[in-house]
Structure 1
Amino acid sequence: MSQRPQKHSLTLKGHRTSVSLEPEFWDAFRKIAAAEDRPINDLAAEIDAARGADIGLASAIRVFVLQHFMTRQL
């Protein structure tokens, strides 16, 4: 069973922001960044730039993680 979301700070294009995600999503997000040999802040900035104004960053990260692993399973 998932734990409560954990808040972590990220730096996106020089600006600090905090994002709350469940530990499982943080772990998966870090694994994706490591596999791509990229800092997690760079990956988060890319997701931030691609999301719509009506979508929160935490939601965009969750969808990114889900899509990443779904495409690997198909």
Structure 2
Amino acid sequence: MSARPVKHSVTLHGHRTSISLEAPFWEELRLIAKEKSLPINALVAEIDAERGMNSGLASAIRVYVLETIKAR
């Protein structure tokens, strides 16, 4: 398993932004989006709206993925 972050672009609030996450987090995020019948951009926008200003978006996504997995 590679610990090297992979950069992908998403659209938030009409603007493209790049997010760097490790491949396993991208894979799980895509699965979660599919389970919720949401496009990945919509799920990332939800996570972005719920995160506090004290955390970066990539960190908020990692925590969201971890919490979702633990709740299963």
Distance (Å, rounded) in 1 between the aligned partners of 2:27 and 2:61: 12
Q: Partner of 1:12 in structure 2? A: 12
Distance (Å, rounded) in 1 between the aligned partners of 2:69 and 2:43: 16
Q: Percent identity over the alignment?
A: 61
> Where does structure 1 differ by over 6 angstroms across 4 or more consecutive aligned residues?
none
Structure 1 gaps of 5+ residues are none
Q: Partner of 1:51 in structure 2? A: 51
* Superposition pairs of residues 1-74 of structure 1, within 5 angstroms: 1-72=1-72
Paired amino acid for 2:34: A
TM-score when normalising by structure 1: 0.92
Aligned-residue Cα RMSD (Å) equals 0.8
SS at match of 1:69: helix
Q: Deviation per CA, 1:19-64, whole angstroms, max 9, x where unpaired?
A: 0000000000000001111000000001001111110000000000
